Chains A and B, each alone.
Chain A
């Protein structure tokens, strides 16, 4: 426990580093994932194909491959990212994690869309709503209620996956804190215990918040 006590400020720094990384990724992947889900149920074949291709590629390949692609592959062909606080590898890391997580968000949201009885969409179309209006005002609001629990799991998995991003030049997140502690001579076990606690401080409240949201938006029957 020596590392946890003596290096507490370092853990706090890493905690906020990871939190920042996860907030950007959560916002990005929920947004992107929902769009991809609408692509997958869209009546336009090219959009359906794009959604399917995205899910197939990112859901079926390891996260590190995506990270390598964004951190080293794209710069090799001349595509570079802006820096974040002087760090050139923050946005590549966030983008890779977002693209990866969005594939899972997409599938969760799509399952929600499929859970809405077809009669709802048929009725909406019958009264003259367009596809966009049907999806936006009738289907998605009902679908999102049912997807809160699976989305919670996806987001918590994403928070834990953010540890891998630390190995790709994103300094100041919890796993690079662990590396620094180990270098200072603390045992990896005590340092990793601190890292685990810091993750719990993020993930447990996230789980509770999702529970609250779930109760707030559930349909009273």
Chain B
């Protein structure tokens, strides 16, 4: 194909411009998803033989998180999860010298969280993971990095229910997820016959919309996601009546890794990356940055 010099110049210029545009778009996308990315630690050194040293050498981190939890871990259109849990994982990875794109996120629904840690399929689990003693039998927790609390969600026009103590008087049917901690907690406040249990909260939202139940109960963060997507149909009662400390699940007895994560969390408050992680995700619905809870002793 023969082209006149003028046309050839134009074609080359167009090609260059196009490449530049594509590259710029690529950059834009990166900036968008990791706008508040913590700076990756360079040349950090760790005691040989520790989990941190192993991970730093490997240069990758395998993290279990939820893929279906809005604001905490929700798989986006590009296939990567986004949310507060994901940002916390990025903060920890950054301190290990691992950039965000070297983190492999694995979906860990509540059921399999202990198993994936025990089987070493992931290095840590950050998945709205409430710290409790039963779980501590099998794994260790770092953190907590956030304290959620059980709350109630009702239809936006409901004024009869103002807290867990008003449920009996209203003879309200309450929906939660079978086997969950919130389902156990709410049993104190309502008759067993008025508890409706599904496998996921989205079905509870359907039941609430249909008037098949009057209340949905679980952690306020999960409810916030549902309120957020209900387009004003639901509201939070706003009286948390439990404390659910969310921890980072790691291999049982890995005290040094636990202490490292706790130190990283404390530092992330000081350098502002914790606040940035919150504001970009859960803070969009929940508002002000919560104080970092005092870390539990590592064991």
Contacts and interface: CB of A to CB of B under 8 A. Distances in A.
A and B from one assembly? Answer: yes
Interface of A: 71-72, 75-76, 85-89, 166-169, 171, 176, 178-185, 187-189
A182 B114 CA distance: 10
B181 interface: yes
Given A176-B178, A185-B135, A86 B199 contact: no
Q: Is the interface of A mostly helix, strand, loop or mixed?
A: helix
B180 A183 contact: yes
Contacts of A176: 178-179, 197
Contacts of A180: 178-179
B196 to A, nearest CB: 5
A84 B180 CA distance: 23
A64 to B, nearest CB: 11
Interface residues of B, number: 33
Interface of B: 110-112, 114-115, 118, 132, 134-135, 137-138, 173, 177-181, 184, 192-200, 203, 206-207, 210-212
B179 A183 contact: yes
Contact of A187 (B114, B181, B192, B206): B114
Contacts of A168: 198, 203
A166 B144 CA distance: 33
B199 A89 contact: no
Given A171-B178, A182-B179, A72 B210 contact: yes
B193 A86 contact: yes
A185 B212 CA distance: 30
B95 to A, nearest CB: 30
A75 B177 CA distance: 20
Most buried by B among A71, A86, A182: A182
Nearest to B204: A169
